[in-house]
């Protein structure tokens, strides 16, 4: 099994995906263990002094003015975990919790948190055992970190609360730790606080969304090209020289992908035949501009994620010169903003895809295709209601595009009086990504059927490869009405797991 080694300088997006989705093992580097021990020595020295230090010998948040005596400090650290593990609602997905735990371990290993090496090792052991704490949907405001979600993870390290075992069954965390020979941690000064104070949940969801959207933007270029082909449109608008004079990188990449898919098509360029048209509709002609703007948004979000993956987010932090300083690096604004940007871009990409699908189904705008791509219109309804489903998904995506990060709600007796809502932005982006996948699957379903209905005209080699692959995947072609939901589900899976992009790239080479 693949192993990810965690050092002091952060991790990569591929590391997060390997641990969260592929179950990769985690090891601590010797450098990380040494940094952990050095930072812990600083915390221990401060804890022995009479002067109060936030997070070491004081209460937290609005209660930070109380100095805590040494005999109560372990209890203080246990109590912060127990009291902050106050999440409610549905369980969060396993991959999100694994990403959350791994990214917290990343910060712990930076040597800026003051956590003992044995606590970090226990975090790695829990991940490697396939034990996943039960984390709930609600409880993070995205400031002072993803507090409740991280607290539920820390509770598992203490052998308390519930967790899911590698077999998928939810049981008491103490039982699962014992079965895997993992001793519960006894938290000491600062450690409870250090396990809770990070943007790890929203960052993990951002990293996974970026990976998914990378595939979906390529998929959207493919479905847009198939629709252009089915509508007998022109590919001249995809010429590189047209996009060079408006040099947005994402736009050029999307146009190049569409052009690659359409190379060798016998369907393009017929827009001057029986029903001449000077230009294709915006949803077809402007596909690279819309998808390209989304791609450039992805590039910005990826830059933010890379910076955050290299960060040590905690409060207070241990600095190399021995100071322990309070700070505001736990504020989730940088991550929350791009999560919202991505939801906006996903909604617009879905919106333009739905408009193309509707055009394929409308006999007044489809340039010779049967109404709703039906076999016997009137007797058969064809894909009429598939477009209804697509429209419902797009409407939901527009609601999900409302920024969570534009909101803030005060907490902790007005000490934490401005928060990011980044966790909420991440949660709705996950739904947006799911719905965008479904929207593109419906366009794929309609476009492949429409291309096949263009008898006597030969589609591009890449288009033929897509049609062959999607039919082999159980998505049926033209014909009388049938139970449609299984076809749509198969098309969804075909897009979601990357088979659509893979089918094209066998002909075109790597898409951009």
DSSP string, 154-180: HHHHTT-SEEE-TTS-EEEHHHHHHHT
Q: In Å, how far are 75, 103, 109, 139, 411 from 156, measured between CA atoms? A: 16, 16, 19, 17, 26
Q: In Å, how far are 174, 194, 315, 317 from 191, measured between CA atoms? A: 19, 5, 11, 12
> Within its chain, how far is the Cα of 194 from the centroid?
25
HSE value, Cβ hemisphere, 13 Å, CA-based, for 155: 25
d(CA 212, CA 207) in angstroms, rounded, equals 9
Query: Count of CB atoms within 10 A of residue 461's CB?
Result: 17
In 3D space, the residue among 487, 451, 450, 453 whose CA is nearest the CA of residue 470 turns out to be: 487
443: which DSSP letter?
H
In 3D space, the residue among 278, 481, 456, 454 whose CA is nearest the CA of residue 368 turns out to be: 454
SS3 258: helix
- Annotation marks residue 138 as catalytic: no
Q: In Å, how far are 80, 144, 176, 186 from 87, measured between CA atoms? A: 14, 15, 21, 22
d(CA 440, CA 334) in angstroms, rounded, equals 29
In 3D space, the residue among 341, 232, 219, 368 whose CA is nearest the CA of residue 287 turns out to be: 219
- Catalytic residue IDs: 54
């Amino acid at each position: 099994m693949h192993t990810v080694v965690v050092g002091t300088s952060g991790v990569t997006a591929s590391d997060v995906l390997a641990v969260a989705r592929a179950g990769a093992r985690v090891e601590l580097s010797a450098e990380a263990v040494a940094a952990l021990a050095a930072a812990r020595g600083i915390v221990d020295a401060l804890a022995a002094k009479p002067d109060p230090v936030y997070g070491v010998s004081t209460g937290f948040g609005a209660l930070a003015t109380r100095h805590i005596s040494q005999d109560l400090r372990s209890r203080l650290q246990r109590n912060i975990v127990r009291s902050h593990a106050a999440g409610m609602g549905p369980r969060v997905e396993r991959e999100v919790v694994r990403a959350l735990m791994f990214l917290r371990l990343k910060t712990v290993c930076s040597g800026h948190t003051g956590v003992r090496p044995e606590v970090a090792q226990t975090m790695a052991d829990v991940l490697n055992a396939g034990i996943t704490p039960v984390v709930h949907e609600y409880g993070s405001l995205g400031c002072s970190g993803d507090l409740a979600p991280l607290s539920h993870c820390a509770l598992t390290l203490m052998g308390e609360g519930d967790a899911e075992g590698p077999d998928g069954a939810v049981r008491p965390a103490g039982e699962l730790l014992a079965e895997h020979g993992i001793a519960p941690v006894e938290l000491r000064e600062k450690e409870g606080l250090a396990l809770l104070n990070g943007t790890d949940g929203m960052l993990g969801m951002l990293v996974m969304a970026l990976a998914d959207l990378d595939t979906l933007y390529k998929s959207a270029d493919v479905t847009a090209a198939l629709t252009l082909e089915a509508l007998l449109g022109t590919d001249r608008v995809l010429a590189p020289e047209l996009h060079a004079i408006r040099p947005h990188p994402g736009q050029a990449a999307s146009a190049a992908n569409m052009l690659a898919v359409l190379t060798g098509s016998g369907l393009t360029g017929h827009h001057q035949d029986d029903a001449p048209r000077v230009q294709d509709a915006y949803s077809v002609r402007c596909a690279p501009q819309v998808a390209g703007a989304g791609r450039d948004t992805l590039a910005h979000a990826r830059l933010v994620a890379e910076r955050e993956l290299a960060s040590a987010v905690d409060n207070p932090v241990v600095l190399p010169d021995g100071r322990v300083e309070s700070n505001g690096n736990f504020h989730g604004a940088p991550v929350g903003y791009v999560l919202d940007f991505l939801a906006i871009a996903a909604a617009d990409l879905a919106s333009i895809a739905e408009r193309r699908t509707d055009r394929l189904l409308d006999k007044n705008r489809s340039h010779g295709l049967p109404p709703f791509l039906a076999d016997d219109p009137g007797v058969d309804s064809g894909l009429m209601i598939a477009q209804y489903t697509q429209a419902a998904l797009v409407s939901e995506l527009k609601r999900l595009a409302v920024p969570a990060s534009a909101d803030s709600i005060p907490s902790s007796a007005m000490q934490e009086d401005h928060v990011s809502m980044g966790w909420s932005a991440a949660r709705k982006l996950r739904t947006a990504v799911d719905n965008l996948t479904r929207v593109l699957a419906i366009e794929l379903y309609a476009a492949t059927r429409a291309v096949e209905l263009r008898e006597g005209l030969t589609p591009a080699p890449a288009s033929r490869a897509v049609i062959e692959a999607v039919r082999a995947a159980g998505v049926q072609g033209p014909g009388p009405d049938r139970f449609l939901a299984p076809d749509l589900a198969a098309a969804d899976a075909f897009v979601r797991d990357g088979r659509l992009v893979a089918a094209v790239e066998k002909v075109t080479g790597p898409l951009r």
